[in-house]
A = this chain, B = another copy of it.
């Protein structure tokens, strides 16, 4: 097991900025071809199976308002909240789904495009626990939550902020206000609002309105927020989730409908079956978004993976996950809907397993041409832990992929024949004019990787990647700068929160 690197007494801190090699904030664009792992016929079989699921089996929708919307569109509802959704309802919904949209950050330089050939990475979101080598594994606190948000602001490769870990030391009823405030003050990137119930989401919308100085109509035209709506697989949509979905859609913000289809547990054990069920649940959620507000931005979230059949534990970054991520890409392209995937793993430590399972997730998401990759940095232990060290390991991996997606420069100078003449057969290129000219920018400079030879590496402490990541995230927190915010806006946010806290407390 890795231990945190020991502090060296008397060592002078090196300049903080020197330690952090980052690419600029920019959305990578897809350049690899889509891996179509399903034939056209197979894709249609899965599509048709999912329509049969919606028509023949139906969804259990635990929300009368959602049932009302679906019934008005022609769905058949029985007395047990069982809703059977005809394919014409789905087809109608798909007609109004935007294929691409932009989420607007408080800082316009951080706006994010969803769809097309754009890729956006989000932070890990939702774990109850967090960990680092110094403090070990522990329940999330407000202090830890804020540290993660500062890291997200600092990491140029992360485009979407969100509550990495739950601040469980704050009051559960008003915690979402503190989180939204942190999102609007500690970072100026777009962020995820809580989609559990309408009230929490609407509070976030109000606070975004205050921060951007816009009203709700304007914010609907230039959305800022997104939220994750997980169906309760199999084939169940619970009341608060449906409320959250409808609140998000009504506000014109982006709903990311993500069925939680773990094959063998919450979905059929066969990948085709899990995909059919995922597709049924996703299409139902997307239809509900469009019935709430036609044209509202919505994203198809693919999260199909499998469980360990011996223990029931979820597994991620597996071959089944990878094939599912590529197949889901085919489904989303068939519908013309932006596609969300994830950077996930099931390791209990920030070790080789965490890295290779994450890489499996990332590459298969790229080959599925995912537009949004959530849990992009920091996810560990199947989502039960947000890891500070994993944030840095993932940031390095994402930066490397972003750089790999950039084109190769091919022109007379790059082809380098003059350099070859200068170096000569059996010579070397260190000193050629060509090398000197391109020296500073030609190669990717790592944030985390250590390429020193063994002796130098050992002399410097022999730290493995996880130990180095520990030092880097602390350096990054040290170098963090709070983005500027107008004082009047800050006061208005605090005033809104104070009023809402009173309202919430009064209701108890």
Which A residues have a C-beta under 8 Å from some C-beta of B? 1-2, 31-38, 42, 45-46, 49, 52-53, 56-60, 82, 137, 232, 234-236, 263-274, 276-277, 306, 308-309, 311-315, 318-320, 322-323, 327, 346-360, 363-364, 367, 381-382, 384-385, 393, 396-397, 400-401, 403-404, 406-411, 413-417, 419-421, 423-430, 432, 434-435, 438-439, 442-444, 448-454, 456-458, 462-467, 469
Q: Indicate which residue in B1, B319, B407 contacts A444 across the interface (CB closer than 8 Å).
A: B319
Can you name the residue of chain B whose Cβ is closest to the Cβ of A83? B425
Oligomer copy total? 2
Residues in B neighbouring A400, C-beta threshold 8 A:
318-319, 322, 356, 360
| A235-B426, A313-B451, A346-B449 given; A442·B264 CB < 8 A | yes
Q: How far is the CB of A42 from chain B (nearest CB, A)?
A: 4
Q: Is the CB of B462 within 8 A of A348?
A: yes
Can you name the residue of chain B whose Cβ is closest to the Cβ of A316? B451
Bound CA span A456–B311, Å: 10
Q: Indicate which residue in B59, B319, B404, B416 contacts A272 across the interface (CB closer than 8 Å).
A: B416
Q: Is the CB of A443 within 8 A of B320?
A: yes
Residues in B neighbouring A429, C-beta threshold 8 A:
234, 263-269
Q: Is the CB of A414 within 8 A of B323?
A: no
Residues in B neighbouring A269, C-beta threshold 8 A:
416, 419, 429, 434-435, 438-439, 442-443
Q: Is the CB of B355 within 8 A of A414?
A: no
Q: Is the CB of B354 within 8 A of A417?
A: no
Residues in B neighbouring A38, C-beta threshold 8 A:
408, 410
Bound CA span A159–B235, Å: 45
Q: Is the CB of A404 within 8 A of B356?
A: no
Instruction: List 7 tightest A-B contacts by C-beta distance, closest first.
Output: A273-B416, A268-B416, A359-B359, A60-B425, A355-B355, A319-B403, A351-B464
Bound CA span A410–B48, Å: 12
Bound CA span A115–B232, Å: 47
Residues in B neighbouring A454, C-beta threshold 8 A:
137, 348, 381, 384-385
Q: Is the CB of A37 within 8 A of B407?
A: yes
With A33-B36, A270-B434, A347-B449 given, can you name 4 additional A-B contacts, CB distance below 8 Å?
A31-B35, A235-B424, A272-B409, A273-B414
Q: Is the CB of B1 within 8 A of A414?
A: no
Q: Is the CB of A457 within 8 A of B348?
A: yes
Q: Is the CB of B33 within 8 A of A33?
A: yes
Residues in B neighbouring A409, C-beta threshold 8 A:
270-272
Of A266, A277, A349, A351, chain B has the most CB atoms within 10 Å of the CB of A351
Q: Is the CB of B439 within 8 A of A309?
A: yes
Q: Is the CB of A272 within 8 A of B360?
A: no
Residues in B neighbouring A415, C-beta threshold 8 A:
45-46, 49, 268, 270, 272-273, 276
| A37-B31, A400-B318, A407-B37 given; A235·B82 CB < 8 A | no
